[in-house]
Structure 1
């Protein structure tokens, strides 16, 4: 298939660069770029088109690139994890990996001259980073315990793999879907707890019965951006599992050919829905598919509060458990990656799973290996029983590695949460999300307390600060939170968070703090 994207009458900067040269074209030029060096490269290729290959130039770390993988359903093997550990170990203090809020891994410290060799190694173990940036479909999310959850309704792993294969031509790159108006998110849930955050995806499939047949109701249009945030809305469509891939293809083609391209800030799918109405979108999708679609089931099966999967749980397979490990703000060093690979081999089946909360699951652990696993030194840091405030802490990359971030997030989030846990008894898990800028990679709008980086004035100087969001709900009654306080300097934030935790979430000052001892 080839792209049939219409040329917009007024092209913005990004539409111009795509019209001049498809992002996938750089695939054949990687060896040349590696020899040329990042400083001598064409800037448009370096700063933008390399993102079609999952390679991101980072001005805040010149010469050290980020590599974003594709891990459908967040599943990775021990062999793959070990190889990625080898990759980041090469770069010393600059090399690490971050688990993302889309069940994915981003590697940091990568040098351009090493990219061709890295890609050859990735291919050998069945990994790809193709079409993971810019105007492409991002990592496709699903339940992190698909296929092993005793209570799941549908194992979505194969469907998610099929959708990825469609979009990327099985990892080779697919120009049919490499020129969307903007980035695009897809999630497919087969569980009852909305583990995929369906409401923040451009397309979300959530389980629903129609005439006693299990399929999916479809939501469309959910997104975060610096300009606007919207929860997904019903398309009024129910599909059987066999139609999921075809429906994804049809929606993507309609969006590709009709999405708004003149103003990049108004190019996500929801803006097209605003202009057309959801019924026109549905009709266009039916025309693209060549058949009528069934109306949505009257109710879906998202009935539970959202689980975080941290701890030890029995699987549907007798005698096996999955063990959820808390990874503080999702940061992995090379040594951690080697350790996780070894643990997955020794105690499980050589499989590792990632969650949208930036944590890790080791599945398929037999009864006899459970206790030895729990005694592993790594589990002192990656705990199965973390403190209540640390447990649900999420953070984007922050200004340490990302040029979009207005503040540092990960290190600050960890330090502040430890201080708050030292001062407070907090009986309830509180989901605190940090994001460094309005692009909302840290998803503050779905948190109990969301912190969005900004610049503020204090004592006549510009300093790092946050806007505070509250009211985000996940699970069966998912809803986006709202900004309640603007412009709090980070230096003044801890007492503000402490008061919020006491007033709204049942935390109490520890006795030694109240007595001053």
Structure 2
């Protein structure tokens, strides 16, 4: 591992300097002290940066009210866990809410530093953790939202995702091996056919593929062993380097590696160790994995990973099994288990309040098995609903708010946090996104969903590059005034043959946006103007 203590501090940027002085995870032992002295008396580096290693984020736009980011591997949690999260934000009144994220995760808002010891106690009691969920750590690990439910899946991702989480975080307690990466790192595993995790935007992703593996392979002991299979066996092709940042956005590229499921965790470790020990650290804007791949070349990177892996890597399968269009899982669907269904609820821009979370937990417990699943579209799924209970569930009043059949623009709407709570955002997003879609749906009719993604700044948390229409917040000048505006992206595609969109128009004031979007919907997506109402 790179020893930053031996590196001259003058060669380090400010983030590497404070990481060299004190590991971020060290603040885990200081939570009681922070709660006692209060946020204003804390060391600024601890408050503004190191707290992120335990998932707590200082937000200058809401001083004294912190955000807490959980780790929800594969987006799966129990009704009991959901209730605890609801209890945490319930005490903060209007300031307390939760956001579902584009990584199948939950962020809690309104948190006060003096409550952290009790909050962490509550989380531990139901096996929840927020450790290593921010800064230079591996973020929430995504997997198929209908893993184990989908009759057409090729592999159930749940156990693998949990094993990777356990390896990286030492069973949720925090693992110093992986608390000092050059920058953040995203991992995704998909076992279905529709790329429900958006594999291409992750630093490391595993996509299903069948491979005929014959001939010699180097064993862990260094000896050749014969492996001959009469038919293709299941595993994963590996892609690397996908990321969004203010400076650059890239889709992941093939590593030319195939691994069976039993090697996935070890390969994750090897890639992370190579990134940790050799990733670029001088310039924060060039510290993601793709920059190292650019500097080394893909072959050298692959060779270093193979060396760390400890045995020879198998070349990638000729093709992967991503051959379906992307599903959003909103609605009612049969499970592979006879007599059971899963129901996908649309959560407008992913925003939940305590009463919503209690109600969702109740639905999961009364009608299902007590399990709740999150999706990368900021929606949620209640699985394991018996045929005999389905009709009753669909009459529940909360489904008027969280619809199973939302309108076509609303259905695919995604938004980042926006300026209401995020100091990086240049514009407000969530509320504006809902208002804009409502106005558009009053003016135009569509025949299919159109995916509109909002992000408040170039960090692209709302992922506008994967959308049909992506809107990135910016500041614009109009009539001598500075206003909130957007740059417009188009051409993003998810599912099979996924690709990133590109910026097509810059600097549209938000106050002028609705007619621009209306024209795009008509000219590119087959929308038509609604007929005027007759008197």
Structure 2 residue ranges without an equivalent (≥5): 213-231
Q: CA deviation at 1:175?
A: 0.6
- Please show how residues 178-257 of structure 1 align to structure 2 within 5 Å: 178-211=179-212, 212-257=232-277
After superposition, give the CA deviation of every residue in 1:48-88 in whole Å (9 maximum; x if it has no partner): 00000000000000100000000000001000000111111
- Please show how residues 45-124 of structure 1 align to structure 2 within 5 Å: 45-124=46-125
Q: CA deviation at 1:4?
A: 4.8
Structure 1 residue ranges without an equivalent (≥5): none
After superposition, give the CA deviation of every residue in 1:124-174 in whole Å (9 maximum; x if it has no partner): 000000000000000000000001111100001000000000000001100
**Contact kept? 2:2, 2:277, Cα under 8 Å:** no
- Please show how residues 407-446 of structure 1 align to structure 2 within 5 Å: 407-446=427-466
Aligned to 1:369: 389
Q: CA deviation at 1:208?
A: 0.1
TM-score of the superposed pair, with normalisation by structure 2: 0.95
Aligned to 1:346: 366
1:28 aligns with 2:48: no
Q: Distance in 2 between matches of 1:486 and 1:8?
A: 42
Structure 1 residue runs of 4 or more that deviate by more than 3 Å after TM superposition: 2-9
Q: Distance in 2 between matches of 1:285 and 1:6?
A: 25
After superposition, give the CA deviation of every residue in 1:394-449 in whole Å (9 maximum; x if it has no partner): 00000000000000000000011011111111111000000000000000000000
Aligned to 1:397: 417
Q: Distance in 1 between matches of 2:261 and 2:3?
A: 28
After superposition, give the CA deviation of every residue in 1:21-56 in whole Å (9 maximum; x if it has no partner): 000000000000000000010000000000000000
Q: Distance in 1 between matches of 2:91 and 2:459?
A: 31
Does the residue aligned with 1:439 lie in a helix, a strand or coil? coil
**Contact kept? 2:470, 2:490, Cα under 8 Å:** yes
Q: Distance in 1 between matches of 2:146 and 2:441?
A: 30
**Contact kept? 2:470, 2:488, Cα under 8 Å:** yes
Aligned to 1:130: 131
Aligned to 1:472: 492
Aligned to 1:335: 355
**Contact kept? 2:415, 2:433, Cα under 8 Å:** yes
TM-score of the superposed pair, with normalisation by structure 1: 0.98
**Contact kept? 1:142, 1:188, Cα under 8 Å:** yes
What count of residue pairs does the alignment treat as equivalent? 514
Aligned to 2:221: none
**Contact kept? 1:101, 1:356, Cα under 8 Å:** yes
**Contact kept? 2:136, 2:180, Cα under 8 Å:** yes
Q: CA deviation at 1:253?
A: 0.3
**Contact kept? 1:103, 1:356, Cα under 8 Å:** yes
**Contact kept? 1:34, 1:114, Cα under 8 Å:** yes
Q: Distance in 2 between matches of 1:380 and 1:395?
A: 21
**Contact kept? 2:4, 2:20, Cα under 8 Å:** no
1:285 aligns with 2:286: no
What is the root-mean-square deviation in Å for CA atoms of aligned residues?
A: 1.0
Q: Bigger shift: 5-14 or 45-54?
A: 5-14
In 2 relative to 1, CA 467–474 (structure 1 residues): closer, same or farther, beyond 3 Å?
Answer: same
After superposition, give the CA deviation of every residue in 1:260-295 in whole Å (9 maximum; x if it has no partner): 000000000000000001110110011111111000
Q: CA deviation at 1:3?
A: 7.0
**Contact kept? 1:3, 1:176, Cα under 8 Å:** no
Does the residue aligned with 1:204 lie in a helix, a strand or coil? strand
1:379 aligns with 2:380: no
Q: Distance in 2 between matches of 1:363 and 1:135?
A: 34
**Contact kept? 1:434, 1:442, Cα under 8 Å:** yes
Aligned to 1:44: 45
Does the residue aligned with 2:99 lie in a helix, a strand or coil? strand
Q: CA deviation at 1:453?
A: 0.2
**Contact kept? 2:39, 2:113, Cα under 8 Å:** yes
Aligned to 1:296: 316
Aligned to 2:513: 493
